[in-house]
Every structure is written in C-alpha cells, then in structure tokens.
Structure 1
C-alpha cells in the first residue's frame, strides 16, 4: 500500500504556497489549517504568540512538510484522543 493519502497539493489555490518554502513541489496542503493549533505550546511546531496572545504559526512548516508532517500530526492527535478519553472516564467515576 502506498502513502498517497499523506500528501495533497493544491497549487491552484490563490494562497499557494501559504508559507515560504524553497521546494514547493514538496509543499503539503493536506492540513491547510493545522489540527494541532489547539495544543498550544505542545504542538511541536515553530510558532510564536502575538502581543495579544494569538498563536502565530506563519513560521511553521511542520504540517506542510511532505515526509514528516502527516506522521507528526497523527502522533500528536493520539495524545489528544487519549486526553479526551481520560477526561471522559474520569467523569464517569
């Protein structure tokens, strides 16, 4: 089985590429909006906070990196799933 599901590119998008990247052929659009935004500092990406407390991910290429992004996000999402499961089980007690 291939890994084609891990990579999608929409080079016709008016925002493509939405981040500066040297090799745009490897720019992955699969996670156009990063699902790890809600993890705050635990996302593992290159971000900063604005003076108003908004997370600025414009310097982050992690979800858009062809060979790394998908696997990183899936691993982090497992920790989100575990956290939600733990919260649910604690409520049942």
Structure 2
C-alpha cells in the first residue's frame, strides 16, 4: 500500500521552504502549521522561548521531516486533551 498521504511538497508556495533546509526536495509541507505547537515544552521539537515568553519554532524541522509523520500522529491524543472542552 502506498504512503503518499504522509508527504506533500508545495514548491510553488511563496514561503517555500519556510525553514532553512539543505534538502528542499524532502521538505514536507503537510503540517504547514505544526499541530504540536500547542503541546508547549512537550512537543518534542527544536524550539526555544523568546524574550516575550512565546515559543519560537523557526529552527525546528520536526513537522517538515517526512519520517516524523507517525510521531506527529501518535501525539494527537495529547493535542485532543488540550483542545477538549473543560466544564
């Protein structure tokens, strides 16, 4: 079975690539906006907090690496917990 659904490369995007990379042909745009951002310190990516306390992911390639699709999908339970309605 094909796994083409795990990878999308949008070379015509005016922001491509949005992070520095030596391998633009392997740059995965599927998770253009990283679903792991909401996990804060527990996302597993290469980030830092800036002087205003905001998460800076500009040097993180975790969601853009084709091999990380399964890792991101494995974290959806954590993301759903954060997004669930609190009574």
**TM-score normalised by structure 1 residue count:** 0.83
Q: Please name the residue that 1:74 is paired with.
A: 73
How many pairs were matched up?
86
| Alpha-carbon offset, residue 80 of structure 1 | 2.9
Distance in 2 (CA, whole Å) between partners of 1:71 and 1:60 is 17
Q: Which runs of 5 or more structure 2 residues have no equivalent in the other structure?
A: none
Give the 5 Å matches for 1:41-52: 41-52=41-52
Q: Which runs of 5 or more structure 1 residues have no equivalent in the other structure?
A: none
| 4+ aligned runs moved over 3 Å, structure 1 | none
Higher RCO, 1 or 2 (CA under 8 Å, sep at least 6)?
Answer: 2
Distance in 1 (CA, whole Å) between partners of 2:13 and 2:77 is 30
Residues 44-71 of structure 1: per-residue CA shift (max 9 Å, x gap): 0000001101100001000000122x11
- Comparing both structures, which one devotes a greater share of its residues to helix? 1
Distance in 2 (CA, whole Å) between partners of 1:56 and 1:15 is 17
Q: CA RMSD in A?
A: 1.7
Distance in 1 (CA, whole Å) between partners of 2:54 and 2:17 is 22
| Alpha-carbon offset, residue 23 of structure 1 | 0.8
Residues 13-63 of structure 1: per-residue CA shift (max 9 Å, x gap): 011000011111100000000011110000000000011011000010000
